[in-house]
């Protein structure tokens, strides 16, 4: 005969007829006599559950169970079946653990490879970032020098424009001065006023030109005979 469970309060064996079992709302099981006594005294679960509320008759429910008499060989067979089931379960768990271990090793190797690849990629990225920063710094310096050269070119263009303007003014003044000097030279030549060397040359040129024209006119006047030319008789 199998051993019967005992009550947690009186420690007597629970019997389906003489001492039936009852369970309360927290799930603990006691004999019916102890449950009745706890309700009468207004006590809570003897195992000090979290609720701590006093027990009532409606909180107790009968727990049906039956007792089957078995032989010793049947008990051994049942125990052996349980042992075999547990052993098979352990084998399955061991196989599952081995498979998981292989998968874990494979995943670990892949993670190691990926970590190595990421490390190389991170190194390449850091190097590329450093090169980019250096290129940006050089570009910034180049832009600064370019801005300086542009400002210098603007200054030179402004100076060139001013120089061209002054040159144009100088040419205009020179042309005006030459025209004025020529006119004064001609007037001075007519009045007999002493001239500067430049104006003297212009006056001489003007007098020579005027004298040549006068001589040419006089020569033509002297050689001109208004009378008709007589033909000589041939003897």
Residue 210 lies in a domain: no
**What is the pLDDT at residue 64?**
72
CATH number at residue 34: 3.30.40.10
Residues 154, 106 share a domain: yes
From 149, 181, 213, the end of a domain falls on 181
Does residue 60 share a domain with residue 96?
no
Q: What is the pLDDT of residue 1?
A: 42
- Looking at per-residue pLDDT, the higher value among 213 and 8 belongs to 8
Q: Which of 12, 40, 69 is the last residue of a domain?
A: 69
Residue 2 has pLDDT above 70, yes or no: no
Residue 206 lies in a domain: no
The tens digit of pLDDT for each residue in 121-153 reads 888 888 888 888 888 888 888 888 888 889 989
Domain count for the chain: 2
In order, the DSSP letters of the chain are -PPPPB-TTT-PBPBTTTB-EEE-TTS-EEEHHHHHHHHHHT---TT--SS-PPP-GGG-EE---------HHHHHHHHHHHHHHHHHHHHHHHHHHHHHHHHHHHHHHHHHHHHHHHHHHHHHHHHHHHHHHHHHHHHHHHHHHHHHHHHHHHHHHHHHHHHHHHHHHHHHHHHHHHHHHHHHHHHHHHHT----HHHHHHHHHHHHHHHHHHHHHHHHHHH---SPPPPPPP-
Residue-averaged pLDDT of the chain:
76
Q: Percentage of residues in the chain with pLDDT exceeding 70?
A: 71
Are 20 and 115 members of one domain?
no
Residues 3 and 77 in one domain: no
Q: Are residues 139 and 127 in the same domain?
A: yes
Residue 136 has what pLDDT? 86
- Any domain includes 168: yes
In a domain, 149, yes or no: yes
User: For residue 8, what pLDDT is reported?
Assistant: 80
pLDDT score at 94:
92
pLDDT at 111: 92
Model confidence pLDDT, tens digit, residues 160-216:
999 898 988 888 888 888 777 766 666 665 555 554 555 455 555 555 555 544 455
Question: Are 156 and 96 members of one domain?
Answer: yes
In a domain, 98, yes or no: yes
For residues 79 and 64, membership in a common domain is answered with no
Average pLDDT over every residue of 7-25: 80
Question: Domain limits at 106?
Answer: 70-181
User: Using one digit for the tens of pLDDT, what is the confidence trace for 61-102?
Assistant: 877 766 666 667 777 887 888 898 889 989 999 999 999 998
pTM, entire model: 0.29
Please report whether residue 232 resides in a domain.
no
Is position 229 within any domain?
A: no
Same domain? For 55 and 91 the reply is no
Q: Is residue 48's pLDDT more than 60? A: yes
Average pLDDT for 214-229: 49
Looking at residue 200, its pLDDT comes to 55
What average pLDDT does the segment 23-51 reach?
A: 83
């Amino acid at each position: 005969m199998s051993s019967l469970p005992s009550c947690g309060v009186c420690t007597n064996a629970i019997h389906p007829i003489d001492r039936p079992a009852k369970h309360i709302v927290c799930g603990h099981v006691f004999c019916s006599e102890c449950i009745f006594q706890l309700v009468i005294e207004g006590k809570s679960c003897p195992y000090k559950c979290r609720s701590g509320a006093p027990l009532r008759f409606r909180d107790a429910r009968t727990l049906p169970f039956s007792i089957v008499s078995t032989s010793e060989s049947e008990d051994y067979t049942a125990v052996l079946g349980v042992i075999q089931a547990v052993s098979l379960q352990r084998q399955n768990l061991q196989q599952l653990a081995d498979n998981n271990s292989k998968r874990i090793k494979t995943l670990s190797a892949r993670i190691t490879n990926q970590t190595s690849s990421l490390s190389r990629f991170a190194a390449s990225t850091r190097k590329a970032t450093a090169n980019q920063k250096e290129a940006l710094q050089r570009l910034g310096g180049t832009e600064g020098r370019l801005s300086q050269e542009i400002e210098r070119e603007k200054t030179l263009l402004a100076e060139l424009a001013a120089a061209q303007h002054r040159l144009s003014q100088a040419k205009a003044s020179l042309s005006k001065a030459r025209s004025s000097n020529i006119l004064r030279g001609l007037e001075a030549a007519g009045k007999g006023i002493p001239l500067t060397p430049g104006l003297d040359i212009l006056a001489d040129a003007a007098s020579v030109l005027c004298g040549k024209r006068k001589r040419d006119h006089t020569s033509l006047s002297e050689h001109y005979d208004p009378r008709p030319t007589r033909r000589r008789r041939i003897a």
